[in-house]
Amino acid sequence: MSARPRSRRQEQVQFATELRAAGRTWPEAAAAVRHRYRVNARVAPRLARGLSQRQVAELWNQRWPDDPKTFKNISTWELWPASTGHAPSLDTLDRLAQLYECSVADLLADLPTHGHPPPHPSPAPASPAPAVGADLLNGRAAEPLLLTPQLASTLVHRLHDVRFEELAQALIMWVQQANPGLNRRELLLKISTALTVAAAAPLLDIADADERDRVVAVLDDPGRLDLATITHAERVLQHYRRQGDVLGPQIALQTALAQRQVIADLIAGAPEDLRPRVLTVYAELSQMVGWQLYNLGDYRAAQYYYDDARTAAHDAENTELVTYVLCTMSQLATWQNKPRVGIDHAIAAQAWAAQTDSPAALGYAADVAARAFAAAQQHDKAQRALEQEHAAVRDMAASPPLASWWYFYDESFYWGTSAECALVLGTPEKALAAARTSLPMIDPTNVHNYAHTLALQSQAHLQQGDIPEASTIVGDIARISGINRSPRITQRIADLRTALTPWQRSRAVRTLDDLLASYRLTGSSSTNKS
C-alpha cells in the first residue's frame, strides 16, 4: 500500500504512476488526470508527470536552445483559451507534444468540436466524486465540511507544497472559464474573506508548535523579540503583497492593517540590534496599506500611510525602501492629475536611489519620473527618464534585486510605462508596440498589472480608431475583474467605455455592453483620468 500523498501535486503524480503501472499510456494517464482534477488538456500532461511550469521550460530549453522559453510562456499557453492566455502555435503544440510524449490532438482534447456527434458517444472516464472545493467552484451545494484535527493536519502538510503562483493561476482559470451566470464574484469574496480572516491571526500561521509558542511569547513581551520571529514576519510579507495583486485591495487591506498593528506593538520593546529590521517591516506594511487604499480610491488615507511608511523607512535608515516609498508617492500624485507634485517626489526618489547600489531602485525612480514628466507634457525629460530606466532594467539582469518589494518590477513594467507615456504624449502606434511587448512578459497571476497593461493596449487601439479591437480588449479586462475588482481596474473599464460612446451603436460596442452587464460593470466614468 502506497503512502498517503502529502500534497495535491503528489496525489496527481501518484494517481498517474498507478495508471502507468497498470499499462496506461502517457496520454491515457493525462486524460484521466484531466477528468479527475478538472484541468485543461494543456495542463494535464504536465501534472501527470509531476512537472512544474519552470521544469517544462527547462526541458524545452535543453531541447531547443535557439528558442528559449520561461515558465511564463508555459503559463500563458496553459491559460488559453481564456482571454488571459495566448494561443500556442501549431509548432509550439508539436514541441509540447514531443515533451509530453503525446499527440497534438491530445493537447486540444478539451476544446469544442463543430461536427456531428457520433451516434453512440462513449462515456467519459470514470472519476471519483469531486472534492468539496470543486463543488463550491462549480456552484453546486456541498455537504458541510467538518475541520477535524486530522483534516487540519493534512491541510497544513499540503500547504507546504503549494506554490502561490499555481494556486493563483488555478483561480484565474476557473473564473475565466466558469458560466457568467454564476455569481462568481459573491462566491469568490466569501471564500477569500474567510481565508483573509484566518490569515489575519497575527504571525501565528506557523506549523511548528515550538515556534508558534515562541511567537506568542513575543506578542506578550516584545522585549523577547528574536531573529527567528522577525525573519518569519519578513517572509510572509511577500504573500500579503501578492494577495492584493490577485484578489484585489478589498481583501488584502484587512490583512495588512492587522499585521501592521502587530508589528507596531513590537517596535518600542525591540532589541537595539533588531530595531532597524522591525522598522523596515513596519514601513513595508504601512506602504502596503497605502497602496491598497490608493487602489480603493481613498487617496487622502493612502497619502497618510505613505507618509508614515517614509518616516519609518528613514528611521530604519533603509535608503532603498525610502526610494520605493517616494516612488509610490509620486505615482499617487501623478494619478491625481498633480504631475508637478509627482515630479517633486520622483526627483527625491532618484536622489535617494543614487545612494544605493540597487538597479531596481534606480529604474523604478526613473519610471515614476517618466510618468510624471509625460503627464506634465515635458516630452524630452520623459524620454530621458525612460532611457535611464531601460539601462537600469538591463543592469537588473546581472544584479537581481534582493529586496522583496521589487518582486513586480522587471522589463515588462518598463514597456508598460513606455506605453503609458506614449499614450499621454499622443503617439498611439508607439504605445501599442510597447504594450504588445509588455503583455507576454507579465506574470498572468499578477492580475493588477496585467489588467492595467491591457487597458493601455485598448486605449492605443482606440486612439488609432480600431473600435472593434479596443472593445474586445475592454471585455477581456472585464473578465479579469471577476477575480480582482479593484476600483482602479473598474475605473479603467468605465473610462474606456465612456471613450467608446461615439460608437455605442456599433456591433462591437453593443456586444461589449452585453458583456459588461453580465459582469455587473455598467456605468460611465466618474473621473477625468484615462
Q: What is the pLDDT of residues 26-35, one digit of tens each?
A: 999 898 888 8
Percent of the chain with pLDDT over 70: 74
Give the least confident one: 256-260, 357-361, 468-472, 522-526. Answer: 522-526
Which candidate, 379, 297, 369, places its Cα nearest to that of 330?
369
CA distance 52 to 43: 10
pLDDT, tens digit, for every residue of 412-440?
Answer: 999 999 999 999 999 999 999 999 999 88
Give the long-range contacts of residues 113-121, CB within 8 A, separation 24 or more. none
CA distance 377 to 370: 10
CA distance 38 to 163: 18
Q: pLDDT at position 390, please?
A: 96
Q: pLDDT at position 278, please?
A: 93
Write phi, then psi, for 38 (nearest 5 degrees). 55, 50
- What Å distances lie between residue 91 and 81, 94, 99, CA to CA? 17, 5, 13
Q: How many CB atoms are located within 10 Å of the residue 401 CB?
A: 18
DSSP H helices, 200-298, are 209-220, 227-247, 249-267, 275-296
What single letter denotes the amino acid at residue 297?
G
pLDDT, tens digit, for every residue of 169-221?
Answer: 555 555 555 444 445 445 454 444 444 444 433 344 444 455 555 555 665 56
Q: pLDDT at position 459, please?
A: 95
pLDDT, tens digit, for every residue of 70-122?
Answer: 888 898 898 888 766 788 888 899 899 999 999 888 898 877 655 544 454 44
Query: What average pLDDT does the segment 462-468 reach?
Result: 94
Q: pLDDT at position 222, please?
A: 62
DSSP annotation string for 77-93 = HHHTTSTTS-PPPHHHH
Which candidate, 517, 518, 520, 477, places its Cα nearest to that of 495?
477
pLDDT, tens digit, for every residue of 372-382?
Answer: 999 999 999 99
- Note the residue count of the chain: 530
CA distance 236 to 427: 42
Q: pLDDT at position 210, please?
A: 55
pTM of the entire structure? 0.62
3-state secondary structure of 212: helix
What single letter denotes the amino acid at residue 173?
M
pLDDT, tens digit, for every residue of 253-297?
Answer: 888 888 888 888 888 888 888 899 999 999 999 999 999 999 999
Which candidate, 328, 414, 406, places its Cα nearest to that of 361?
406
Q: pLDDT at position 233, please?
A: 79
DSSP H helices, 354-466, are 359-375, 379-398, 411-424, 428-438, 447-463
Higher-pLDDT residue of 264, 341: 341
The segment with the largest mean pLDDT, out of 170-174, 299-303, 398-402, is: 299-303
**Radius of gyration of the chain, Cα coordinates, nearest whole angstrom:** 24
* Residue 467: all three cell numbers together: 473600435
Q: How many CB atoms are located within 10 Å of the residue 463 CB?
A: 18
Question: Predicted confidence band at 166 (pLDDT cuts at 50, 70, 90)?
Answer: low
Which candidate, 208, 243, 242, places its Cα nearest to that of 228?
208
Q: What angle do CA 222, 224, 225 make, to 5 degrees?
A: 70
CA 170 to chain centre: 12
- Indicate left, alpha or beta for 297 from its phi (over 0: left) and psi (-120 to 50: alpha): left
Which single residue is written with the C-alpha cell 512537472? Answer: 51
* Residue 526: all three cell numbers together: 466618474
Q: pLDDT at position 174, please?
A: 53
pLDDT, tens digit, for every residue of 107-161?
Answer: 988 776 555 444 544 444 443 333 334 333 333 333 334 444 454 445 444 444 5
Domain 412-530 has CATH 2.60.120: no
CA distance 509 to 20: 51
Query: What average pLDDT does the segment 518-529 reach?
Result: 57
Question: Predicted confidence band at 234 (pLDDT cuts at 50, 70, 90)?
Answer: confident
Local structure of residue 120 (DSSP, 8 states): S
**Considering the chain, what is the average pLDDT of its residues?**
79
